[in-house]
Structure 1
């Protein structure tokens, strides 16, 4: 039986329609249009493309956006000043600092300067801590999007053994915490894990989040597993080798069109939630 395709592109499109309905109603009742501020430091073309995709998504749902472009020579202090300005701007409901920033900038200090209530990309240390402890915080956009995708397709998480390959603070680590909070048994691995293949073979749910093309081999994945690939590399290749998996696993995400659209959808959804929480 062919694997169930966890289609993030289709789900994101459906959720955008729902978001647009809510935003239109909010504005028609006299509320301010939600707005996301994006900060791009430098001229990396891939980062510029990702930021534009997020701005386009805002437009599709009727959400406002501010686009701030800063030169590659920007200092940590200059970036912090811009973040503080946006924190204090009542017209801004969410702040996205596009990763990565140039090497001379203290990225973690800048992430942590984002006000918790505007941290709609889920990048602050405080937000991560609250999420890991089961308290409210905006989750890191990619793992939170994956959780939404799993829920939509009724993928059972409770009691399952999930193996997350990748330990970045905005993907692998929060992914492991979210799965643990959903009552999975979680093993967190990375590129230096000894005998990675053996650990992956034990997984009911495999999440590729290591940022290396096809590091996780298809032969490592057991029949019936759920395969989530959060990687994207040139040529439409993910972190997980897909050869033959379609006929063996129970469900899998396509690359592209699986996790990526849900990342952007989560970002704009959490920006709307920021507005709604302020109205409570």
Structure 2
């Protein structure tokens, strides 16, 4: 991992640890004062090694925060109808406040149909069209976990972002688009850039905030970054390492060079990644409070 000067490091791992402690304390209050335990159900279909590691981590952290953790693993040949019936049963289960169906799903299952079957109130991934619409219109949405984590890191680092120029590179439904909406909510002037943006270096150079979520290793060069800008690198790309059989993780930003210009930058790994699961737990807590009419 590239070394970032301490004063420029935006430490997502440390922030996520603090967020989990805060969530655990709030969960304890819910249990003690109201007899309510937030519940998260994670559904996985088939065997995918990367998904397996991720699901185990989610379930472990859910339990550590004092929440009910329900893990449902289904064989790869599970029919779409069987999966939909499980989701509908979880929708009706009062002990479950958040439902997450791990992607990717086997090819014979329509992922959109499955995700849209989750009731919006329990859609802790924030992917349901109702939550997407609420986010874009300033309503009470459950927000996708990765952009929510980015937003929390930015607010912690910068405080008031009103009037800042922000560039989001990448227009996915999972990160880019919701990230742009969150920045608009903070009164930033937002540019949503992508692979066909003309003169992308100049666009990035004008930004006070850069969020890179394009999925191309080290695409954003150091000289693109304006002096004093804040850089959030969402990318996680695995490249061959110097030793045989070894690999290394890099982001979408050329970290070492960008750090020479940026006032703050996230590392890869240890930046945005840890925030995603922490924000999943935060969304589950939020969903639980809303379903019980207890939101602050």
TM-score bucket (shorter structure): over 0.9
Alignment partner for residue 241 of structure 1, among 254, 266, 279? 254
Runs of 4 or more, structure 1, over 3 Å off, are none
The SS at the match of 1:6 is coil
Alignment partner for residue 262 of structure 1, among 249, 271, 275? 275
Corresponding residue number in structure 1 for 2:53: 49
Give the alignment's TM-score, normalised by structure 1: 0.94
Alignment partner for residue 108 of structure 1, among 112, 124, 128? 112
The SS at the match of 2:52 is helix
Which 5+ residue runs of structure 2 have no aligned equivalent? 239-247
Query: Are positions 1:128 and 2:132 aligned together?
Result: yes
The 1:30–1:206 alpha-carbon spacing in structure 2 relative to 1, beyond 3 Å, is closer
Alignment partner for residue 69 of structure 2, among 53, 65, 71? 65
Note if contact 1:132-1:181 (Cα within 8 Å) is conserved in structure 2: no
Q: Distance in 2 between matches of 1:220 and 1:104?
A: 43
Q: Deviations over 1:153-172 (max 9, x none)?
A: 23442111111111111111
Higher mean C-alpha deviation, range 227-236 or range 3-12: 3-12
Q: Deviations over 1:100-128 (max 9, x none)?
A: 22233221221111111101111111101
Corresponding residue number in structure 2 for 1:21: 25
Shift of 1:212: 1.9
Corresponding residue number in structure 1 for 2:241: none
Which 5+ residue runs of structure 1 have no aligned equivalent? none
Note if contact 2:222-2:259 (Cα within 8 Å) is conserved in structure 1: no
Shift of 1:131: 0.9
Aligned residues: 280
The CA RMSD over aligned residues, in Å, is 1.7
The 1:100–1:192 alpha-carbon spacing in structure 2 relative to 1, beyond 3 Å, is farther
Higher mean C-alpha deviation, range 157-166 or range 70-79: 70-79
The 1:271–1:247 alpha-carbon spacing in structure 2 relative to 1, beyond 3 Å, is same
Give the alignment's TM-score, normalised by structure 2: 0.89
Shift of 1:14: 1.2
